[in-house]
Amino acid sequence: MKRFAVIASALLFVGSLAAAMLELAPAAIDLRGPVAAHLAASGVSHPVTAVLLNYRGYDTLLEIAVLLLALLAILAVVGEPGAARPAPAHPVLQTLARLATPLMIVVAVYLLWAGAFRPGGAFQAGAVLAAAGVLLHLAGLLPGWQTPRLRLRLGLAGGFALFLAVAGGLLAQGTLLQYPPALAGGLILLIESGLTLSLALTLAGLFLFLSRDEVAP
């Protein structure tokens, strides 16, 4: 009886959600036109990248800050590191990981470069790089990370710092993160390169910092 009541109310909820979705009014502001109209001045020819890094650059800036904060929270929670030795893995898996890693690096660089004119960009490239790091760790080739030293700290915070420095340097333009059209393409590529590296380290860090004390019981 209880089960039927739950299923019925869930179905009712799904039905009303579907009805609400179908009756959704058109968006009050249609931004597709302005985005397309100003694409030439944004420095890139892919509208998604233009929105993420030019028109709404401060959203991306804050997203990176949130990711960095999440990693700092994990570092604070994990506590003292154990002796993290890479667990031994099957040699076939190790060889496969060794073969796949250079390919994944190439794919990441391609995604970063392609972001300017087709789907791709810093987030996807960073995620592929981070996946390569996780793969190497699972194959026992890359030990889990200890408390980060200066070089790793610089890498983790570098993308955000670079983004912030560009934003600070361009404050004279009037609006936050308003690029001069002549420099926009180069600045976006610079920021995306920094973000790719930092995002890769952050996302891989979510895995490698957490798994460092798994070998030591």
Partner 1 sequence: MTLAFDLLLALALLWSAWRTLAAPRLDRAIVLFIAFGLLMALAWARLAAPDIGLAEAAIGAGLTGALLLDAYGVLQRRRDRP
Residues forming contacts to partner 1 in the complex (CB under 8 A) are: 48, 111, 119-121, 123-124, 127-128, 130-131, 134, 138, 203, 206-207, 210-211, 214, 217
Tell me, what DSSP letter sits at residue 27? Answer: P
Cβ-based nearer residue to partner 1, 100 or 167? 100
In whole angstroms, the minimum distance from the beta carbon of 210 to partner 1 comes to: 7
Burial class (CB in 10 A: 0-12, 13-18, 19+), 87: middle
Instruction: Look at residues 162, 165, 146 and name the one whose alpha carbon lies nearest to residue 208.
Output: 146
Calpha distance 5→11 (Å, rounded): 10
In whole angstroms, the minimum distance from the beta carbon of 134 to partner 1 comes to: 5
* Long-range contacts of the stretch 105-112 (C-beta < 8 A, 24+): 105/129, 105/132, 108/132, 108/196, 108/200, 112/192, 112/193, 112/196
Cβ-based nearer residue to partner 1, 166 or 202? 202
In whole angstroms, the minimum distance from the beta carbon of 173 to partner 1 comes to: 27
Calpha distance 202→72 (Å, rounded): 10
Cβ-based nearer residue to partner 1, 136 or 184? 136
* Long-range contacts of the stretch 65-71 (C-beta < 8 A, 24+): 65/160, 67/199, 67/202, 67/203, 68/156, 68/157, 68/160, 68/198, 68/202, 70/202, 70/206, 71/156, 71/202, 71/205, 71/206, 71/209
Cβ-based nearer residue to partner 1, 68 or 128? 128
In whole angstroms, the minimum distance from the beta carbon of 213 to partner 1 comes to: 10
Cβ-based nearer residue to partner 1, 164 or 213? 213
In whole angstroms, the minimum distance from the beta carbon of 155 to partner 1 comes to: 18
Cβ-based nearer residue to partner 1, 79 or 174? 79
In whole angstroms, the minimum distance from the beta carbon of 38 to partner 1 comes to: 19
Task: Return the residue matching tokens 């959203």.
Answer: 59
